[in-house]
Amino acid sequence: MGLTKRLIGFAGVDVPAPALAMMRLSVFDWAACGMAGANTPEFRSFVAAQCTEEGPAHLFGGNRIGAAGGALVNGTLSHALDYDDTHFAHIGHPSVAVLPAVFALGETLDASLDEVVAAGVVGVEASILVGVWLGREHYQIGYHQTATAGAFGATLAACRLLGLPAIQIRHALGLAASMASGIKGQFGTMAKPLNAGLAARTGVEAALWAQAGMTAAHDGLAGENGFGVTHHGAGQDVKLPRKDWAISEISHKFHACCHGLHATLEALAGSTVSTERLAAIRIRTHPRWMTVCNIAAPKTGLEAKFSYAQTTAMLLLGHDTSAQTSFTDAICRDAAVKALRDRIEVIPDDTLAETESRVTLQLDSGEVRRLRHDLATPMSLETRAAKLQTKGCGLLGDDLAEALWEASMGDDLSALTELFAAHPKT
C-alpha cells in the first residue's frame, strides 16, 4: 500500500490515550511558546498586516481572524522563539505546523477540544511519517522538514476535523504537494518561523479547497513527478503506528534555542568548573548539526540560538539558557562570552546519535573531564509535565501559566483559545 493511501486511511483512526496525553502536554507547550512569541516586537507589523478582516480564530497576543490567516500567524508566532517541541525521527518541529491549523479550523467549526487534540495527534503523527518517508537527504540538502512534512500533517489533521471523504483527502494532500515549502537557508532569520506558519496555513487551505471541490493529481505526494521524487525524497518504507506512536518520542525544549544544541547544554548543566580554569572545550556532535546550529560568531539574538559556541559560553558563564530573554544582540557582543567561545571547538562525530553529545573540558592543570547526554533518554510523563509547567511559568508568569495549564487539560476549546490574547509579564 502506498504512503498516500495509508495516510488517507489514517485520518479517521482511533487515537490511543497515551498519544492524547502527550498531545495535551504539547498543546500547553505550544500555546505558552506562542503567547510569549507574540511579545516579540519584530513580528508586530507582520501580524498587523494579516488582521484585515475579523474571523473566529483567536491569535496569540489578541485579535481574531479567519482560519487560514489564524493558522499562518499562530504558526509563525509559536515558532518565533524557537522554543517549541521537536521530533528527531525527521528533524522537525511538529506542533507548530499542525496545532495552529487544527485550533484555527476547530474554532471555525465550533469543534470540541477533544476533537482538536485528536486531530492534532493524527497530524503530528502524519508529519513524522512523511518526514521519515522523505528521509535524511531531503533535510540535509536544505529543505526545512518542519514546513515540508509539516504541511502534509497539517492537511491530514484539517481533513479529519472537516470529516472529508477519502477522495477529498486525496485531493487535499495533492493540493498540499503544490504548496509545501521551506528551506534551511532561513535559519537565524524571521523567515524560519514563517515556514511553520506557511505549513499550518497550507493545511487549512488545502483541506477547505478540497472540500469545495478543487481537485489535484491522483498522488501528488508519492506519485510520479510528485512531491517526494521532486524534493529529494528517499521514499523510505514507513508503517502506520500500532502499539507505539511516534508522538510518544517527542522531545520538548528546556533551553530557548535550536534543539540540536540541547544535548550539549544538558551535558554541561551539572558542571561546576570555573570558566577561568577552562583551557579548551571540545564538543562532539552528529555531523548533521554542523550546518544547522554551528554559527561560530553570531551577531544577533536569533543567530545565538543556532550556535554551539555561543550557547555553551552563555551557560558556563551563568546565563540562563532556558530564558528567551537571555538571547539578545547584546549577549553576542559580551566580552566574556566572546572570549570563552573562542576556546570552544565543535567536532562532527558520525558515531553519535543525532540526539547525543559528548563534551570534553580541558582544565589549565591538564586535567580532562568528559561529559555526555542523550536527549532520547526516556522521561516519565509526570516528570515531563512538571518540567513543562516550570518552563511555562518562566515564559508567562505563574498565574497565566497555571490558567493555561488548566485550560489545556480541560474540555472547553474557547476557554483555552481566549487565553491566547493574554500578554505575559516580561
Mean pLDDT on 123-134? 97
Band the pLDDT of 20: cuts 50, 70, 90: very high
Mean pLDDT on 336-355? 96
- Shortest CA distance to 283 belongs to which of 323, 310, 256? 310
Distance CA 398, CA 413 (A): 22
Task: List CB contacts of 244: < 8 A, sequence separation 6 or more.
Answer: none
Band the pLDDT of 235: cuts 50, 70, 90: confident
Residue 174 has pLDDT above 90, yes or no: yes
Mean pLDDT on 323-334? 93
pLDDT over 90, % of the chain: 89
Mean pLDDT on 386-411? 96
pTM for the model: 0.90
Predicted pLDDT at 288: 87
What are phi and psi for residue 94, nearest 5 degrees?
-70, -40
Please give, one letter per residue, the 3-state secondary structure of the chain: CCHHHHHHHHCCCCCCHHHHHHHHHHHHHHHHHHHHHCCCHHHHHHHHHHCCCCCCEECCCCCEECHHHHHHHHHHHHCCCCCCCEECCCCECHHHHHHHHHHHHHHHHCCCHHHHHHHHHHHHHHHHHHHHHHCHHHHHCCECHHHHHHHHHHHHHHHHHHCCCHHHHHHHHHHHHHHCCCEHHHCCCCHHHHHHHHHHHHHHHHHHHHHCCCCCCCCCCCCCCCHHHHCCCCCCCCCCCCCCCHHHHCECCCCCCCHHHHHHHHHHCCCCCCHHHEEEEEEEECHHHHHCCECCCCCCHHHHCCEHHHHHHHHHCCCCCCCHHHCCHHHHHCHHHHHHHCCEEEEECCCCCCCEEEEEEEECCCCEEEEEEECCCCCCHHHHHHHHHHHHHHHHCHHHHHHHHHHHCCCCHHHHHHHHHCCCCC
Residue 11 has pLDDT above 90, yes or no: yes
Q: Do residues 416 and 424 make contact, with C-beta atoms less than 8 angstroms apart?
A: no
Mean pLDDT on 191-207? 98
Mean pLDDT on 245-253? 95
Predicted pLDDT at 295: 95
Q: Judge whether 3-251+381-421 and 259-374 match in fold.
A: no
Q: Answer left, alpha or beta for residue 222, where phi above 0 means left and psi between -120 and 50 means alpha.
A: alpha
Mean pLDDT on 144-148? 97
Distance CA 416, CA 58 (A): 10
CB atoms within 10 A of CB 54: 10
Predicted pLDDT at 112: 97
Q: Do residues 305 and 322 make contact, with C-beta atoms less than 8 angstroms apart?
A: no
Cell numbers describing residue 124: 503530528
Distance CA 203, CA 225 (A): 21
Band the pLDDT of 168: cuts 50, 70, 90: very high
284, β-bridge pairs: 347, 358
Distance CA 338, CA 297 (A): 8
Predicted pLDDT at 237: 86
Predicted pLDDT at 351: 97
Band the pLDDT of 1: cuts 50, 70, 90: low
Mean pLDDT on 99-119? 98
Superfamily in which the 3-251+381-421 domain is placed by CATH: 2-methylcitrate dehydratase PrpD (1.10.4100.10)
Band the pLDDT of 324: cuts 50, 70, 90: confident
Residue 193 has pLDDT above 80, yes or no: yes
Write the burial class of residue 317 (CB in 10 Å: 0-12 exposed, 13-18 middle, 19+ buried).
middle
pLDDT tens readout for residues 362-385: 999 999 999 999 999 989 999 999
Domain 259-374 classification at class level: alpha beta
Residue 4 has pLDDT above 70, yes or no: yes
pLDDT tens readout for residues 32-88: 999 999 998 999 999 999 999 999 999 999 999 999 999 999 999 999 988 999 999
Residue 426 has pLDDT above 80, yes or no: no
What is the β-pairing status of strands 344-348 and 278-285? Answer: parallel
Map out the domains of the chain as residue ranges. 3-251+381-421, 259-374
